[in-house]
Structures are given as structure tokens and as C-alpha cells.
Structure 1
């Protein structure tokens, strides 16, 4: 392998940012001709203050000088900001009227000028109209509930359009009333079908809407400023984000892991809070009761009454979920495995605790396989995260923990057990230390670059393995999936580019950008200022790492991953840092895939995963729901029967007893003390067979060449 010396430079992200940006505020006078007043005087207290104006001018300057792309702040950017802000405030197009949107459009191409001049009033004005509209809608919903749940007729044939992303804006208040009547009716019907009594439904929804009204009245100027500035910042890319003083403090707490919680990454999803991913070895992950894409609808402390959190801000829900180590939080969730219209929920209790580094440590196991009439042993190393105990390292502790040190020890143990090859399992590994991704790569290659980082000024820095010789030279496969991200992608990409390992599984997440946090006079700006590239010159951004042989995805890649985020930066490439040797896998890939397809064509777990995802994607395309109770119940029963048929087909193929009805996912999931054996993991087992197929084909070719 050779790498380009010209691109080798020390890696220093901080060098690309100045210490700060000073904005001179000589005076601020908003144009009263442009500022649309709110209807009524209740929201007049919401006004931009001097600190926010200065912060906005700082952000304009930071993005102009230091964002990776440095796109111009012009009319085209203004239109993006406008569209993003409107979608942020009213994603389901159920509060604003067409008349509101027409009035706002007068500003569509002027937000670039407003921001450059420190004029925040148009952003505040639009937000205040949204508050007024939402207050009116919630009051209308409460007036419907005052008539009683029984006043709704569920025998009428009518439908509610639930996917309103591209729906026409309601033309007037009468259309809004009809839409909200259907929305309330839909919520009642969902709860009815989930088994709740009419009185309980009325109490729950009345309390929910009143709570939302109460929270609306508590809106702060900071809420408005954060929403508006983020519509601007996230028009550049989804990871550039303004953090208010409160959220900046939360971000710092998260980064330092100094506050205990449940170990879940959450995000807003319209009026819900959704689980994005689980922190490896965190309380939520260990509970086996929560999964990515689950929706949290209520939170309770220990034995206290549950608090309905539908419609709450993300930061408020996070505050409820956080708490001291050893305390219990109860979450009411709608599982992602439910059918789209199935609102059946479950309550899970989780004991808060800090995530211990040792629990995130790499682990080994031995996979015993019978392959083509012979018995083999393969080593498996599961790496949940790329970790490094910085504190112990800085203190000079010779026994500090790190991914690379742990994996090196595990490899030695596996070689002592005389395994025939090794599978590195990076499924669900969301990343971590970039240094560890580089050092881990160094265990498997001779010497050379591991990842390239291109900064906003076009300079390419190279991280490299300086150690000569590979620590482990044996057969290797790397198993990834859609939730393998960041440092995982850097390692997997390097293994693929050096032709050091077969990459198996699913297309990875595709996060290939670097952020830094820049303090402001008021809050902080998380700013994208660099991009990762593989040593082949290909970006990991957007596309991720494409496996040599792909397995069925267990999540919809159109819904989860970098490419699913709005304004995600594109994939591209730069000059390669190495000239790779001949690819030893290439002559065998077609045959390996053919054998894989034959083996998994009727494999119960592979078939189940494919069919379950196909059903979920089919149901996701249904844009409306019936508000007729019998039709809705029949539709739900049909979906449950299809889900049950898929589960029982899998069970029958594996010689297990069929189910009479669907069980909740956690009833089928082994608890922490019932660890699955490696042989019970279909994807791990198949990875072992592919690696053994390759070794057999390579051996046969070498034998034929020797005979010639």
C-alpha cells in the first residue's frame, strides 16, 4: 500500500475556527411595516432582546466564514429558511390557514436581509400567529370534548388524511374546524380500540389539551428565538444547530455523562418524542423493553401519576426523564413494532444509572459452525462503542481502558483458542472516539492512512497508523447495519478500502461530518466544519459504507439514516490517499453472494426480517385512516393477522410452537441474564458461513494454481 505524502498533515479541528466572532450592534430598529402583529395582545411580551440580536449576527458571521460548505446567504437560502420554519411550526398543516401562508410569503425572499441586519421581528411575528392559531385549535378541541365522547358518530364513513406533508393548507376556519373534529375523533377511536372506556378517554384527552394550552401560555422569547434561528442554521445541514443557554447546558451534561438517565437519544417527531437510538450498555438498552422509533407518550416518577407529554417540547420531556442515580422512571410508550394505527401502549419501568465504561467494553465469544461437513471455530468480537477513558489516560494510568487495547487482548485470547477467523460485530455501534477508530484500524493493517478529514478551507488532514506490521493477520469479516455510524463507518470503510475484511450486513448510517461547538454571547452554535473521507477518497457522508454482501434491513433506510434527514450534505469524493493492492475478495464475490442467497432464501430469520419490513413499508404508504369504528377495527385485525402469520411462519420453520395471538416484543426478547448464544444469531451465523466460504474458495484457487 502507498499513501500520498502530500496530503499528510497534523489533524487540528480547532485551527479552522477563530476564537470568536465580534458583532458590533450600532442600533436595531425593526421595520414595523413588515412585522405582522399577533391577533390580540396576549403574545406581545414575546419580543427579541439585545442578546438574541447579537447572537443572531454572530451566527450569520460564523456560518459565512466557517461552515464547511460556506453557501451564500441569499434569496435562495431565504426561501429554504422560510419553508423550514413554516414546516417546523406547523408540520401537519393543521394550524395555519392558506391566508396566513399567503401573508407570510411576502417575506419569503427577505430572511437573508433580515438576518444580516439583526431583524428578528418577522420570525417572532410568524411564531406568534402560530401560537394564536394553536390556542384557538386546542380550545375548539376542548369544546368538542365537553359534549362528551358519545357525541361522536363512529358509524359514519369518513376518513382522516394523516400524512399531510403535502396537503393543501386549510382555506379558512371552517376547514380547520372540520380537520380538528376529525383529529379529535381519530384520537378517541384509537383509544377506544386500545381498550379505554369513554369516561377515561374524555378525561385523558381533556387533560392533554388543557396541559398543552397551559404550556402554550408559558412560551418564552427564548423558545421563539431558538426555533427561528434553528430554521436558519439547519438550512445548511441537519447537524448545524443553535443551542439556547439551557440547551447548551444540557448538551454539556450529555457530553460529560455527569448526569444519570436512561441512556437513550431522543428527538421530536411532530407532537411526539421518539427514541432515535439506545446508548450501548445503558439502562434502556439493558431493559430490553425499548427500541429505536418507539414513541414516548407519558412519563412518571417512581409510583407517582403518569404525566401525558404529547405536544411537549423535547427539552421538557428530557428533564422529566432525567433524575438521580438509583431512582425509577416509568415511561408509557407506543412500540415502533405496532401497526401505524395501533396506539396500544405499554408502561416500562427503568432504574436510572450512569453508563459505566466497562459495560460498554468490547466482548468476545466463540461461534461454533458446521460448514461443508467440517466443524469450525470463529472468534466474534462485539464492539458496542468506540470508547477511550480520557481521564485515566491523562492521569498517566497505565491500565486505562480503550477499545483498541481491549480488542488487542481479546484477539490474543481468541488466537490462543485457535479460531479459524474473526468477525468484528459493529451492529448498532453509533461511534465515539475518532482516535480509537484509527488505532483499531492499525491492528489489522501494516501501516498507512486510516481516514481523511477535509476542512472548510479545502485542506485535507490525514490520520494514520504509524505502527509497522499488523497485530492480527488472519481471516476477518466486519458485520454492520443501518445504526452503525461515524467511527464505525471509518473503521469499516478502512477495512474495505485496504481489502482487509469482508464487509457484511446493511448499509451504514452515513454520518460523515465533523462538528464543533462555538460559544456565543448567548448560547452556543454547533457547527459543521469538516467532512470525513475514506482512504479511497470516498466520503462516508450520506451513503455510508455499502457492504460487500447485503443482508435484509430491519429498519426502513428511507426513514432512518443520514439520507433521511432534511438538507443532509451530499456524498462526494476527493483524491485517494492510498493505491490499494489487488482485491483478494473480488474474484469470489459473485460466488459468495450466490451461496449466501441459496443459504438464506428460506432461512426463517432472514425471510421474517424481509417480510416484516415489506409489510411496514406497505402500511407506511397508507396516507389516510377510516373514522368508521367497524372498518377501522377490521383493518387493525387484518394487520395483526398478517403480523401474526409472519411470526408463526418463522416459528414453524424453526420447529417452535405457533402463537394464538401476538405477544409484545419484550415477551419474546431474552433478558440480560438469558444471553443468546452466537449460534442463535442468524446474521452472525451467516457472516461466519460467508467467511468460511471465502476461505474454502481461496484455498481451492491456491491449490489449482499450485497444480498448474
Structure 2
């Protein structure tokens, strides 16, 4: 799970020894380190004794306890080497071919180096990277100092934007030309976004000078964490080394749920991207931010906006965090912008801790007309799988939990005589494994709910031991790509028991379990178990595939477990239950046909498909023109397409068309009147229609 609550972390401790492995105490490698002279402040940075011991401990822990136990050999060395270069220079715009030729002598030797505690090559590569970054930043400042008015935007030239597999530059002259174009592209983006030349000059100059200042502050710990974390993540993307600074908040790179904005963030080259919003967090409640938005500036209250392009993720996190009740202002490039559209908006968000009661399950009633009759369907939205662990352990009979709340809501909906229930798990990133198991128990008679396979091959079966189901009526689950972990366990069980129709999008695919192991220096978060559905299928990588799929809101190739490097594969083990007859299978073909017919005419579904298709098309563009006339024409063309799509949807829904694309009000907060009713949510409405289709088809068969 992306975040393990205290109960999960404690229960997983049994898999590892309670004390850190103190290995190779007689090593002598540290004494061999010799300081090197350099004009740069980082030239003399070297690994210390504590870091060497920690690296040896990480090697041994991964060897003994990682779920897959892959060998640390030449093949893994190549993965480590390639990943390290990609981390340091993802766009291949700093190192030269000569640098790479020099580094290649270690390509297949990182396994031996790590086993012996020799960190020197990892440090040398990183420090060479710092040298090259300084050279490039100095060059960029030189270009800006010539004056942006000297730049010729009438020349027909282009910049290659996708350089992940580009050849390494032959020499500095080739990098100079690349960086001349990069600076020109930055200026042109800001010009088209409406900034004045003087403001552009000041902004970019300050940005690059700040980058130089951050380079000078590089510590040995920064190098060590980058290198050892690259090694750890070569096993899987959720195995991480955490430095002593990061260990206090082991999920600092993933969640800002406490005294923050409530968003999951990740680095995206030189920018910070929002992956998802924490349910009931300040950002989600503001309705001003969305997944894939990019944060480019942070300000405290009414203070100066700090440009954070090129900053490390943890540095941006520190700026966004702050005292509860204080205001943070974010400058954001919306995900809805075209790739080359740098137009930004500023949003103000009041920091607060996410309250358990705000994440509680909620109910509503969806009224639908179907085949000449009106139906009422209950909707239960579950933002997270929560458990008030403190109250639970204290024996408080009124402790809050997902299962208890959902059970109460079902009882209330049954009193309202609903015809069926839709459980909305969209954007539910998981939470308590115990709650996923107990919630499953509300809908099945009794039996296994999830399987946990450990690194030694032992399979633990978590089960619902209470006979009888609390709710036996019609049930559908609505999921999407951001439904993860505990959500996938629950949805998978409902699908395997044929208890509910699963509708929506393919889920995230996070099917592994991590634990935290203290080291002499920092901590190691490592994957030591894997979840399996009761059918024996893993939720890892593949996630849960809906019975009927809806248009994706996000690109599943860009977001999800399968998009992460070195993600562990999907597999299966022996099932825990025997397959029973599937009541949905005889009707799925007809249900899909009816859904497709409605979706083809549904303005919201059509809009979602068309918008994603346009975004994917633009993302696959690997070059941008540096000719201002051509660039502005493309910008106008894209905005025209977006406006046409929006107005096509509005016309189909009987709404007034827009003359231009809406610009969000930076300080506007949604009022009670602005909140969507269930009938306004196209995905909920379609889920209800599919459920009613099934009830009608099933009833017709029963009558015959």
C-alpha cells in the first residue's frame, strides 16, 4: 500500500529481526578514501564510515528478506548503472559521450562494489554530474545575459523534447547548442504565456542562480541517498533507502497528508507533479487542483512566490508543509493545458491535517428513470479504508472504521428501500488491510478475503469468519486508475466471489507489502510480501480489470504500477476458493452492448475520450518549434480543439457554449450549491443504468 497505517507497519515487523544487522564490523574500506581537490564545494565529498556500514546492511537485508530475492550480480549491476544515469541525467543533457565512456568500466561491477562497501564510483559519477550541471547552468545564464531581445524567434528550428534515448552529446559544443535551444524554448513558452520580456529575464536568471546555490549546498548524504536508493529501487519501485532526515517521515516523497495540502507528489524531470489528491484533504476539498497538475511555484501566505522548477522533491515538500491553519499559495500549470502551454494559475490553500471524520464513508441516493420506471439506487462513497487504531486498541466501542460506517449506511439505505447499491471507490488509494477484509465480510457468507505470500513462499490466508452476509442485494463497484491497494483487494474479492459488477477503469496495480527496517544510518523500506486475490491472481501490476470499462480519465501508460520502472510482474498462485457460477457472465455481452450504445451518445463520455486522445497525441510529439509564429499557431490550434470539445459537450447537455476556455478563479471555493448531485456524475449514472440493465435481464430470464 502506498501508505501503511501503524497497525500494518507493526504487524509486518514479525517478518524481520527486531534489530538492525550489524555487518562487517571489521571493514577497512573507509580508511582507503582519499579526499580529492576540486574548485567546487562538492569536490571533496566522500562517503563516511556510517554510510559504508549502512550500504553493507542494505545489501544483506535485500539478499535475505526481499520478496523476490533476485541475485546481486552483473545483470543487476547493469540495471543499477542505467537507472543511476537516468536519475541524474534523464534528458541526456549534461553528460557527454566521453563521460559515459569513462563510467562504462563500472557498468557490470556495481554488484561487486556494493558487496565490498566501495561507494567511490557512485560518488564520482554524482560529483561529475554536479560539475556538468554547473557548466550548463553557467552557460544558460550567459545566454540570458546576452539579452532575450537578441534571440531570433523567426528562425525555423526545433528542439527535441523527448531525449530519453537520444545519443549522448559528442562534446561540449553539441551541449551548448542543445542548451541554447532549451533556454530559447523556456523564453518562448513564457512569452506565449503572456509574460513581459523583463519579467522573463528576471525569472529565468533567478531560477538558474537558485539552482547554482542549491548545487553548492550538496552534502555527502545527498549523494549517498541517491546512489543507495537507486540500488534499492532496482529490486522494485517501492523498496527505498531513507536517509536519517527522511526516516522521520518515511513517506515524505509520497504524501503531504499531515499539516500539508493533502496531495501525493512525484518528481517529473525538473518539475513536481501531483499524482493524486488525498481524499478529504485540503487540496481535494478546494477543487482547485487535479492529478497531473505541475507545481512550479510556492509562496507562504501573501509572501513572495518562490520558483521551484529544478528543485528536489523533498525541498518542495518542505516549502508546502507548514503550521496547521496557515495558507500556502501554489503556482500551478494545469494538466488540462496543452504540453507547450505554460499558462499558470495561482491557488491558495489552507493547510490542515486530514481528519478521520472527513474521510468517512458517505451515502447519497441516485434517482434514475429506466425503461419507463423510476428507480432509487444507494451510492456509498468510500474515500479511504480507515480505522481509528488508537480508539480500537483502547477498547472504545464507538471507534470509527470503514466497515462500521458502511454497515450503518447500508442499513439506512435499506430503510429508504433502494433497488440496489453502488459503492464508489474512485481515487481510493487504500489504507487498512484489516478494513478491506472486514468490509468484504459484509457482502459474502464467509471465507477467504485475501492471500499474502511471503518471501519464503508461505501463504497466509486472511478470512471473514462470520457466517452470513449483511447485505445480499444488487451491488456494483465503481473503480478507476487511482483505486489502489486495499481498494483492489476489496474489488478483487467482490469480483472473484461474483458478488458485484466491477465497473470503471483498470485499477492502479499495487499488490505488494512493505515494511520499515531501521539501519545504523537511516532506514530501509523493503518489499517482503505480495497480495493475491482469492482466485489466486495477483493484484500486482495488472490491478483489477472491470467487467465493463469506461473511458479513462488519465493515461494508464503514464500513471499506475505498470508505469513504474522495475515494477514486479503479475503472477498467480493456487486459488483459495472454488469457482462458483457467475450470475453476471451470461449477460455481460448484452450489458456491454447497451453500455457502448449509451456511451457513444453520452456527452461526458465522448468528451473524456476525445480529451484523452488529444492529450496522448500531444504527448507523443517529440519536437517543438522554436519559431514563434509556428508555435503560436499550434497553441491557438490546440486551444481551438479544446474549446470545440468543451462546447460540443455543453451543447449536447443544453448548456450555453463558451467563447473562450474557462480560466479558474484562483481563490474560489466550491459552495454547497456547486457540489455535484449523484445525477450530475455521468459515471455514477452509467453505473446505475448497467445495474438496472442487469436486474431487468436477470428478471426476464427468471420469469421464463
2:35–2:44 contact (8 Å) kept in structure 1: no
Give distance in 1, aligned partners of 2:40 and 2:665.
Answer: 51
2:376–2:418 contact (8 Å) kept in structure 1: yes
C-alpha displacement at 1:49, in angstroms?
0.5
1:37–1:125 contact (8 Å) kept in structure 2: no
Q: Which residue of 2 aligns with 1:558?
A: 557
SS of the residue aligned with 2:601? coil
Counterpart mapping for 1:329-408 below 5 A = 329-408=328-407
Give distance in 1, aligned partners of 2:569 and 2:685.
Answer: 34
C-alpha displacement at 1:230, in angstroms?
1.1
1:253–1:259 contact (8 Å) kept in structure 2: no
Give distance in 1, aligned partners of 2:537 and 2:256.
Answer: 33
Task: Return closer, same or farther for 1:100/1:672 CA change in 2, 3 Å cut-off.
Answer: farther
1:286–1:672 contact (8 Å) kept in structure 2: no
C-alpha displacement at 1:48, in angstroms?
0.1
1:451–1:463 contact (8 Å) kept in structure 2: yes
Give distance in 2, aligned partners of 1:660 and 1:285.
Answer: 28
1:38–1:125 contact (8 Å) kept in structure 2: no
C-alpha displacement at 1:327, in angstroms?
0.4
Q: Which residue of 2 aligns with 1:703?
A: 703
C-alpha displacement at 1:13, in angstroms?
3.1
C-alpha displacement at 1:249, in angstroms?
1.2
Task: Return closer, same or farther for 1:426/1:216 CA change in 2, 3 Å cut-off.
Answer: same
C-alpha displacement at 1:672, in angstroms?
4.8
User: What CA deviation, in whole Å up to 9, does each residue of 1:9-63 have, x standing for no partner?
Assistant: xx96333212232212323337989x99786454233110011000000000000
SS of the residue aligned with 2:249? helix
2:258–2:354 contact (8 Å) kept in structure 1: no
Select between 267-276 and 187-196 the one with higher mean Cα deviation: 267-276
Gaps of 5+ in 2: 1-9
User: What CA deviation, in whole Å up to 9, does each residue of 1:148-205 have, x standing for no partner?
Assistant: 1101100000000011001111110000100000000000000000010101000000
- TM normalised by structure 2 equals 0.96
Q: Which residue of 1 aligns with 2:191?
A: 192
SS of the residue aligned with 1:529? strand
Counterpart mapping for 1:543-622 below 5 A = 543-622=542-621
Give distance in 2, aligned partners of 1:647 and 1:573.
Answer: 43
Q: Which residue of 2 aligns with 1:21?
A: 21
1:425–1:478 contact (8 Å) kept in structure 2: yes
Q: Which residue of 1 aligns with 2:693?
A: 693
Give distance in 2, aligned partners of 1:441 and 1:14.
Answer: 25
Task: Return closer, same or farther for 1:524/1:316 CA change in 2, 3 Å cut-off.
Answer: same
1:264–1:276 contact (8 Å) kept in structure 2: yes
1:146 and 2:107 equivalent? no
Give distance in 2, aligned partners of 1:668 and 1:463.
Answer: 47
The number of aligned residues is: 693
SS of the residue aligned with 2:159? strand
1:36–1:125 contact (8 Å) kept in structure 2: no
Q: Which residue of 1 aligns with 2:304?
A: 305
Q: Which residue of 2 aligns with 1:63?
A: 62
C-alpha displacement at 1:101, in angstroms?
0.5
User: What CA deviation, in whole Å up to 9, does each residue of 1:334-359 have, x standing for no partner?
Assistant: 11110000000111000001111000
Q: Which residue of 1 aligns with 2:321?
A: 322
Task: Return closer, same or farther for 1:256/1:629 CA change in 2, 3 Å cut-off.
Answer: closer
SS of the residue aligned with 1:251? coil
Q: Which residue of 2 aligns with 1:130?
A: 129
Counterpart mapping for 1:612-691 below 5 A = 612-664=611-663, 671-673=670-672, 674-691=674-691
Give distance in 1, aligned partners of 2:272 and 2:292.
Answer: 9
Give distance in 2, aligned partners of 1:413 and 1:667.
Answer: 38
C-alpha displacement at 1:296, in angstroms?
0.7
Give distance in 2, aligned partners of 1:263 and 1:627.
Answer: 38
Q: Which residue of 1 aligns with 2:4?
A: none
Task: Return closer, same or farther for 1:217/1:120 CA change in 2, 3 Å cut-off.
Answer: same
Q: Which residue of 2 aligns with 1:156?
A: 155
Q: Which residue of 2 aligns with 1:455?
A: 454
SS of the residue aligned with 1:606? helix
Gaps of 5+ in 1: 1-10
Give distance in 1, aligned partners of 2:93 and 2:269.
Answer: 12
User: What CA deviation, in whole Å up to 9, does each residue of 1:649-682 have, x standing for no partner?
Assistant: 0001001111111113679998252211101101
Give distance in 1, aligned partners of 2:377 and 2:466.
Answer: 27
User: What CA deviation, in whole Å up to 9, does each residue of 1:407-460 have, x standing for no partner?
Assistant: 000000000000000000000000000000000000000000000000000000
Task: Return closer, same or farther for 1:253/1:602 CA change in 2, 3 Å cut-off.
Answer: closer
Q: Which residue of 1 aligns with 2:78?
A: 79
Task: Return closer, same or farther for 1:65/1:555 CA change in 2, 3 Å cut-off.
Answer: same
1:430–1:485 contact (8 Å) kept in structure 2: yes
1:439 and 2:438 equivalent? yes
